[in-house]
Amino acid sequence: MGGKMSKQKLGYSCSACNGFFSKWSGICPKCQEWNTLQEDVFIPKETARFESVRPDKVNKPELIHEIKAVESQRVKTNIANVDRLMGGGVVEGSLILIGGDPGIGKSTLMLQLAETYSMQGKTVLYISGEESKEQAALRSKRLEIRTDKIYLLSETLFSEIKKAVDLIKPDLLIIDSVQIVYKGELPSLPGSVTQVKEIAMEAMHLAKGANITTFLIGHVTKSGELAGPRVLEHIVDTVLDFEGDRNHGYRILRSTKNRFGPTDEIALFQMGAKGLKEVLNPSEAFLKERLKDVAGSVIVPTMEGSSAFLVEVQALVAPTNFSTSSRKSTGLDQNRLCLLLAVLEKRVGYAFQSVDVFVSVAGGMKIVEPAADLAILLAIASSFSKRPINAETIVIGEVGLTGEIRSVSRIESRLKEAIHMGFRYAVIPKKNLSGLPESITKQLTLFGVELVEEAIGQLLSRKGANTTMAPKKEEISCG
């Protein structure tokens, strides 16, 4: 060991680009990211050896057509959302990373997943590095988890975890969390880039070598400071992000990488007193608290992976009390909001100088796709003019800088979801009108629009625009 140690260099590695430097600095000299360098140890390649590698088989190159490609075995979790997300069940012996902010519900989800394995007679080993076994057991009691075949180990030293794995030979291994588990022979701290990567590599050899499906739980902080998912993405088969607004009950599980299935699919959950519950109809959940026929509310079908669901965009335009007006958005890009306001001012002549504009997506959802532009714009116009938009209407379209409405992808899926939820009218980009099947055109009255002002003319009358919000010569801050 001593000989090996002497080759190791102490220094700092970057959690973003994985570069290694002998001196610390606030900005990474390689990738220019801020605050990503942390104390670490550099291990030259030839000394990096993994405990679980057993060189008992000789490995040689083979011709592709001679390789027997067997479909991987999958285990259905019976959490419908999770099975769909993983591509039809969890592949046996795969390594999955689940990342998310502390407190979002990762441990809860894993415990519920462990239950579904246990119910199928499979053995589960849950490594609880962050909580004592009493704490973890208490949680499982509270969640009323049936724990027949779930073993719990509160341990952070990897060699001990390895012993437990050899003893119990689980079908499912959960490591909670990858940041707290460490290898004693490395001088760097748990959670450092080197430790986290080594643990992940070991987990990979366990998963592949012994065919143990392994979940690694990883924390990410907003600034990505911890050596978390970012450095592990290459190593694991699947990356799941668990996100959501802590103030809202909804949690979104998203696959951002998947060697065995689709990516960018999402599964929606709701956190309740008995843990996470699947939300099988997101549209219904997101529209549940909607008030109909109020100004400033517009429904848009948005795509997440292959599924469309309806969300409500809300806008509030109110006279400002300060010398600078403000624009705030929740769940939407602030720059996009500013751009849409500018388009409205330029094309329709609305004056936003002396008003505050707030826009948000109800239910704590985030919308990033430009297909929601027109809905946002109309929500603002609706609040500004104090005229509600028909409650049975959905709005789709990307808005260009010259006020043109651009076509969007997956129009059929979006419209089908609107029909499914009982909507009767749809304002969509004119270019998206052609080629729609009868099953859609028969059930929805479609309005194709080319310009922003057409859409406004279609849904709102400009006469209603409130004249008390007349322009004043004042500064505007956008941000």
Site residues for Mg ion per CB under 5 A = 107
Specify the residue for token string 């739980």: 217
Rounded distance, CA 185 to CA 187, Å?
Answer: 6
**HSE on the CB side for 80, CA within 13 Å?**
6
* Options 30, 139, 208, 410; binder of ligand TYD; rule CB under 6 A: 139
Token pair in block for residue 441: 């055109």
What separation in angstroms does the CA of 264 have from each of 85, 175, 241, 363, 473? 9, 24, 10, 20, 46
Is residue 102 a contact point for ligand TYD (CB under 6 A)?
A: yes
Give yes or no for residue 103 binding ligand TYD (CB under 6 A): yes
The least CB distance from residue 104 to ligand TYD, in Å, is 4
Q: Which is nearer to ligand TYD, 104 or 227 (CB)?
A: 104
Which CB sits closer to Mg ion, 104 or 332?
Answer: 104
Assess contact for 393 and 339: CB atoms under 8 A.
no
CB-based contact 37:17 (threshold 8 Å): no
**At its nearest, how many Å lie between ligand TYD and the CB of residue 221?**
12
- Min CB(273)–ligand TYD separation in Å: 6
The smaller minimum CB distance to ligand TYD, of residues 89 and 105, is found at 105
Tokens of 404: 């043109």
**What would the x/- binding string for ligand TYD be over residues 258 to 297, using CB under 6 A?**
-------------x-xxx----------------------
Q: In this structure, are residues 199 and 156 in contact, taking their beta carbons and an 8 Å threshold?
A: no
Contact 358, 328 (CB under 8 A): yes
Burial of 14 (0-12, 13-18, 19+ CB in 10 A): buried
Instruction: Give the one residue of 95, 97, 104, 427 binding ligand TYD; rule: CB under 6 A.
Output: 104
Rounded to whole angstroms, how far apart are CA atoms 60 and 82? 36
Q: Which is nearer to ligand TYD, 267 or 415 (CB)?
A: 267
The smaller minimum CB distance to ligand TYD, of residues 98 and 348, is found at 98
Partner from Mg ion, ligand TYD, none contacting 371, C-beta within 5 to 8 A by type:
none
Tell me the one-letter amino acid at 479. Answer: G
Whose tokens are 């600078």? That residue is 324
CB of 35 to Mg ion, least distance (A): 24
Name which of Mg ion, ligand TYD, none residue 274 binds, using a CB cut-off of 5 to 8 Å depending on partner kind.
Answer: ligand TYD
The span from the CA of 252 to the CA of 66, in Å, is 41
Residue at 371: amino acid letter: A
Total residues at interface with ligand TYD (CB under 6 A): 14
For position 106 contacting ligand TYD by CB under 6 A, the verdict is yes
Of ligand TYD, Mg ion, none, which one sits near residue 104, judging by CB under 5 to 8 A according to partner kind?
Answer: ligand TYD
Q: Which amino acid is at 328?
A: K
Q: Is residue 137 part of the contact set for ligand TYD (CB under 6 A)?
A: no
Q: Determine if 229 is a binding residue for ligand TYD (CB under 6 A).
A: no
Three-state DSSP class for 6? helix
Query: CB under 6 A: which stretch of 44-52, 99-107, 144-152, 199-207 binds ligand TYD?
Result: 99-107
CB of 102 to ligand TYD, least distance (A): 5
Rule CB under 6 A: choose which of 119, 143, 433, 476 binds ligand TYD.
143
CB of 171 to ligand TYD, least distance (A): 22
For ligand TYD, give the closer residue by CB, 106 or 416. Answer: 106
Q: Which entry of ligand TYD, Mg ion, none binds 63, CB below 5 to 8 A by partner kind?
A: none
Extended beta strands in 342-392, E state: 355-361
Number of H helices, E strands in the chain: 13, 23
Runs of H (alpha helix) within 218-355: 229-232, 282-287, 334-348
> Which residue type does 73 have?
Q
The residue within the footprint of ligand TYD, chosen from 99, 100, 129, 282 (CB under 6 A), is: 100
Residue 168, interface with ligand TYD (CB under 6 A)?
A: no
Nearer to Mg ion among residue 114 and residue 285 (C-beta)? 114
Instruction: Output phi, psi for 348, to 5 deg.
Output: -110, -15
Check binding of 194 to ligand TYD (CB under 6 A).
Answer: no
Residue 371 in 3-state DSSP?
A: helix
Applying CB under 6 A, the residues found at the interface with ligand TYD are 100, 102-108, 139, 143, 271, 273-275
